Amino acid sequence: MLPPKRVTVEVPKLNFFKNFNEIEENLNLHFKLHPEHAIRCVFLRGNPLSITIHPSKPIEISLDSLTSKPKVSMTRKTHHRATHIANTQGLRETLPTLNIAIPGQEPMKNIDTPPPLPAPGQPLMFADLFAGCGGLSLGLSLAGLNGVFAVERDKMAFSTLSANLLQERDVPVAQFSWPDWLEKKAWGIDEILEKHSPKLFELKGKVHVLAGGPPCQGFSFAGRRLESDPRNQLFEKYVEMVKALQPAAIVLENVPGMKVAHKAKSWKELGIQIKPQSYYDKLVESLDRVGYQVLGRILDSSLFGVPQKRPRLIVIGIHKSLALHLQGGVTRAFELLEEVRIKQLQELCLPEIISARDAISDLEIEYAGTKPCTDPSSPAGFQELAYTRPRTHYQSLMHQGAESDMNSVRLSKHKPEIRERFMRIIQDPECAKGVVMHAAQREKYGLKKHRICLMRADNPAPTITTLPDDVLHYSEPRILTVRESARLQSFPDWFQFRGKFTTGGSQRTKECPRYTQVGNAVPPYLARAIGLAIRSLLEEATAAASQQTVTEAEQETLAIA
């Protein structure tokens, strides 16, 4: 390294050198900038990063001549920092197009080679990450896809998924073909990646669709939307699993808030404003890097035969080698999804909109009556609905294949004064229905809870959340049962829920009881439509790729002739 040469650079010195040194440390370069003097710039031959500080003439050093190589790859964040530093007074940056990999997200090799797909007549196989109680898995299964394995950390939620999709029950969907090397238990995605990575790589070509819905609390507008929430980073694990399995298509479901960027960051000292990214933006970049064309759109579940206004971000990706053969690329997925939506309503004989009354009027106390609760997970002293029969077409669809005694129909035990208050709210003509009660209405009835909504019988239900007291029944002075919430999510009556009904206090963030399982779930009818659309998408892409191969072979034959 040459001795220092004094250069006059008019920038906020301390902050500039502090940030520049961070870049040096990331690249493990062996020189330092001092606030009192500068050095000649070093250019690394073979390194895509070259920073030149005027008026010094760059000195060229081969990368091979360095005694140590960079410890870690430069992150996008650091790259942005270098860019903004170089745009400051007296500085110029020479940066060719960078293709710098984030650790754990290196570009996937052979992205031009289409992933294997099943033989004609064989079902697509899928895996479900962050599976919860199995709403997405159930919907994909209803679309004719077969499950391989599911990853869910919470024991209660996994118990529900297992009771319906893993235990060979007599249900109208195929059970998972679980790998013999993977224990049937609640797994965290980080655990399974750490302990079973070699086995996961062996599943390449055997899992055609990778689905998942990372926890949404850090993105949700109903929550506090903390950027630091560690659950926000779980989508990175999703990308790692994509790299391991290399499926033909991917599906990810989340709340619309995933598309909203968190607070902006800035370097006030340098007067630089950095545009923040949403986690959706980061997800798209990460998946693009590993070979997938990805698109996300916000869809309303109520348009798919779900009796609930539930906007959700649906992200669909397809391997780039297949996307090349689709007109419009991955956008074709949402065109097919709209076609499937219309066809699904026709096949199921459902109207465009299903009301709350259409969905759960057969579960009203006045119609069904009550009896002592016999659920083994419920303490003594509770009552449950004594179910009789469906009253509408939607209810008949939900009740197909169900046993006479449905699971999770336990009623809440409200105190008399609470029931009286709820009835006054129901009968109050000034109380808005179908929307969250405003502050004046809550104050009128002495409600401390900030989010509470009285259902409107003739409209789809509001979004079902993880908290049972967020929604009041449209005609009876009570909150909904787990089964009513499940109906509004389009879970069939044969689907059984396991674990506690509710939890509270410090356990709220540690456990996933039945109400939470339902509130977190992907509506099965929405998932069914997504599964059917992906089937059509892959069939279309495969057919187009095969036709191109035939055409190229014919042209080659003609050229030889």
Tell me the C-alpha distance between 514 and 154, whole Å: 12
Q: What is the pLDDT of residues 223-282, one digit of tens each?
A: 444 444 554 567 788 899 999 999 999 999 988 887 776 555 555 555 666 667 788 888
Question: 430: helix, coil or strand?
Answer: coil
Angle CA 175–180–186, to nearest 5: 70
Tell me the C-alpha distance between 66 and 49, whole Å: 15
- Strand-pair partners of 254: 313
Question: 4: helix, coil or strand?
Answer: coil
The set of residues, in sequence order, having a beta carbon less than 8 Å from that of 29 and lying 6+ positions away, is 42
Return phi, psi of residue 363, to 5°.
-105, 15
Position 235 scores a pLDDT of 73
Angle, nearest 10°, between helix axes 234-245 and 189-202? 10
Position 54 scores a pLDDT of 41
The answer on pLDDT for 32 being more than 50 is no
Question: Where are the domains positioned within the chain?
Answer: 13-94, 125-258+276-353+525-547
The set of residues, in sequence order, having a beta carbon less than 8 Å from that of 36 and lying 6+ positions away, is none
Position 36 scores a pLDDT of 44
Position 216 scores a pLDDT of 52
Distance in Å from the first CA to the final CA of the chain:
64
Average pLDDT, integer, range 489-506 = 92
The answer on pLDDT for 51 being more than 80 is no
The radius of gyration computed from the CA coordinates of the chain, to the nearest angstrom, equals 28
Give me the chain's average pLDDT, please.
80
Position 447 scores a pLDDT of 86
Tell me the C-alpha distance between 332 and 450, whole Å: 41
Position 427 scores a pLDDT of 94
What tokens does 274 get? Answer: 């950095």
Q: What is the pLDDT of residues 265-301, one digit of tens each?
A: 555 555 666 667 788 888 899 999 999 999 999 999 9
H runs (alpha helix) in 227-382: 234-245, 279-289, 320-323, 331-347, 356-360, 365-368
Top pLDDT among 561 and 482 is at 482
Top pLDDT among 200 and 404 is at 200
Fold annotation for 125-258+276-353+525-547: Rossmann fold (3.40.50)
Position 142 scores a pLDDT of 98
Top pLDDT among 171 and 265 is at 171
Position 66 scores a pLDDT of 43
Average pLDDT, integer, range 120-142 = 96
For residues 441 and 472, is the Cβ–Cβ distance under 8 A? Answer: no
Position 346 scores a pLDDT of 98
Top pLDDT among 555 and 444 is at 444
Catalytic residue among 133, 216, 373, 453: 216
Q: What is the pLDDT of residues 65-120, one digit of tens each?
A: 444 444 444 444 444 433 333 333 333 333 333 333 444 444 555 567 889 899 88
Position 233 scores a pLDDT of 66
Peptide bond into 118 cis (omega under 30): no
Is 373 part of the annotated catalytic residue set?
Answer: no
Question: Residue written as tokens 């159930």?
Answer: 138
Question: Residue written as tokens 């095969």?
Answer: 546
- Answer left, alpha or beta for residue 46, where phi above 0 means left and psi between -120 and 50 means alpha: left
pTM more than 0.85: no
Top pLDDT among 352 and 1 is at 352
Position 3 scores a pLDDT of 53
Angle CA 442–447–452, to nearest 5: 70
Position 550 scores a pLDDT of 66
For residues 156 and 498, is the Cβ–Cβ distance under 8 A? Answer: yes
The answer on pLDDT for 63 being more than 70 is no
